[in-house]
Chain A
């Protein structure tokens, strides 16, 4: 919890963590005995996966869950044998297929592409040539740009990948790709770390995107303090200010791209899509090394507020990370995937790190803030902080009454960028953000039901 004396006429500003000059190494978490990987598709008892317990997999291998289906795959983050393939229900009832893999002692790494001569054959390093120049030379020699399909299928599974498939949706062509190196939540540093520690991979990934994605524009959006050094890549570099929540896509669209997102539209409807710097760096690394990256950088926020960067294989249960960092948990503590403002609380230490798990936060039960059932007192604090200029005081009255449609029609429910600031400042401690998410979820369900009825 942040508690500061509030003094001054203007609404206090909350700032993102500034990154030190030396990023330091991320602590490496040992390969756990078991990793759990999710395939984002509901488990269907009528159509059981063909992947079974006992099948063996290699690190970096793309494993199809069904025969003759290249869409539903997982990328094994460790070598070993499949222990189970079972259904898993995530928050808001999203249903996935969970694949558990018992890891073997040694890593057997599967190359991304069939080894062709030119990748393996190492040029003798010519005198006076830097590694980078040589790198570029190899690329020129190959003279064959990576195939779009390959790139997309890599981008989908690398660490930092977002839960979407936006680049390959023919219905919504993408004109602008924004690669963001700014972490959206407070304290979290994982994207910034990728920018700082994987600069060359990031540049490589950006070049690939620029060359083959077909997008007119690739923009690299970085926190203001990190913009230096990316001029040579040939993509537009933009700075994001340090005030929370400027790094959210909706606000990048408004402040940097000058295209405020119309309500009920997605970025993709506008021909714009967002990628994480970490994912693009991983793409670069995949092409540089011909190995699929499987380690995710995670910012661990401890009970006392300190934070540590760790690097763990995707699928590592959080308990392994807690063990290595000597974090003890008690009844009533909170485990949060993500940061303090927008993360998701989980009930189990078995929960695995996923591609998009930028942070894990543990909170001591003493610091767990409970919400209250006091009504809104109309203090106006939420109005002052809301980056979307929503009349939250009115909105919350409708949400509490369950009048979601009116909330959307009259009080701008869909303009909300989901930053959580309103709940953070609410004097009555109303779980406003939760109400908002619930309302959007309920409305989506109602609309879906209506759509199916119409058919």
Chain B
């Protein structure tokens, strides 16, 4: 029989796969970011486009370069570095100088990811590592008010959280909820369009790309803490809705806190992680020196993630 000489593939079970892949996840994240980015492009035009293109392309190039140097197989196809570049671009002002963008993606990809051991091994969200390093080094470029001073908008052109911090609650009455939701506030290129970010987030949740427990508990943490502050002293502290729709809150809830490798996977741990991130965010905003607390709050939660993830259900058959 001729079939006798055929070579068959022998491998281990299972022989089926549900078809998911890292690249599928990356492309879905990029897809979900489109509404928020479009609004950024409409508002900030060409410069926003250049910042985004530069950040995505350099993030990918850094990864390619590191692959070459470390003689690893090329991994840019998985789209992870493109996502890093994209998120970086979404968080920064459209006026960011090109060399800051390139440095930023370098820090994100090389220091935030590759040095930790590559995809899946990064303890912190690479983009947050980068943003925090850059804010500390070149804070002036991240001061949205001075950075975006040349734009003429038909809405209040003071970064809402700055208004809150330096002019108090009375100043924030100028911001209407509808404006905030529609992206009529200054901020990072893809961080201000509330509705767009929420739509993207819901898309990622129902496609099971991100873990909804994290997003929901993060937002719950923000609302609860802001409400407590607000109730204790409405003159000094803004209401929860304001906190929810300004700064990096929404992009944080759906795109940053949910990064796979730096967040927990067990239910209880995810809820503590999310709540903790939300609480810290508002605490930093209300009591700390920084105007926005999302970046440091999530980084802090990233730090304790390995501890949190020890809280897990007992496997079947475990006696102790």
Chain A residues within 8 Å of B, Cβ to Cβ: 1-4, 6-9, 12, 186, 250, 254, 260-263, 265, 319, 322, 328-336, 338, 340-350, 361, 363, 365, 368-369, 371, 373-381, 383, 387-391, 393-394, 412, 414-415, 417, 420-421, 423-429, 431, 433-434, 437
A338 surroundings in chain B (CB, below 8 A): 13
| Of the residues A260, A263, A322, A346, contact of B10 by C-beta under 8 Å | A346
CA distance A381 to B54 in the complex (A): 33
CB distance from A417 to the nearest CB of B (A): 8
A334 touches B208 (CB 8 A): no
- Confirm or deny: B289 has a beta carbon within 8 angstroms of a beta carbon on chain A: no
Secondary structure call for the B interface: loop
Whether B18 and A380, one on each chain, are in contact in the complex, defined by CB atoms closer than 8 angstroms, is: no
Q: Are B317 and A427 in contact (CB under 8 A)?
A: no
Cα distance, A394 to B312, chains bound together (Å): 12
Measured between alpha carbons, how far is A388 from B312 in the docked complex, in Å? 12
User: Could you tell me if A344 and B13 are in contact, using CB atoms closer than 8 angstroms?
Assistant: yes
- Determine whether B205 belongs to the interface, using a CB cutoff of 8 Å to chain A: yes
> Quick check: A378 and B317 within 8 Å, CB to CB?
no
Determine the main DSSP class of A at the interface with B.
Answer: loop
- B152: which A residues are within 8 A, CB to CB? none
**Is B17 among interface residues, defined by CB-CB distance under 8 A?**
yes
Compute how far the CA of A186 lies from the CA of B316 in the bound complex, rounded to whole angstroms.
Answer: 22
| Contact between B119 and A3, CB atoms less than 8 A apart | no
Give every chain B residue within 8 A of A377 (Cβ-Cβ). Answer: 22, 119-120, 260-261
Pair A412/B9 contact, Cβ less than 8 Å: no
Question: A6 touching B207 by the CB < 8 A rule?
Answer: yes
A8 near B312: Cβ-Cβ < 8 Å: no
Cross-chain contact A434 with B12 (CB below 8 angstroms): yes
Given A6-B18, A428-B22, are A331 and B315 also a contact pair (CB < 8 Å)? no
Interchain CB contact under 8 A, A334 and B11:
yes
CB < 8 Å neighbour of A345 from B3, B10, B309: B10
Residue of A nearest to B261 (CB): A378
Residue B78 at the chain A interface, CB threshold 8 Å: yes
Assess the A345–B265 pair: CB atoms within 8 A. no
Residues A433 and B318 in contact, CB atoms below 8 Å apart: no
> Is there contact, CB below 8 Å, between A340 and B15?
yes
Kindly list the 9 A-B residue pairs having the minimum CB-CB distance in the complex, ordered from nearest. A380-B265, A434-B12, A412-B315, A415-B315, A3-B19, A420-B14, A377-B120, A263-B317, A341-B14
| Least CB distance, A351 to chain B, in whole angstroms | 10
Residues of B contacting A369 in the complex (Cβ-Cβ under 8 angstroms): 15-17
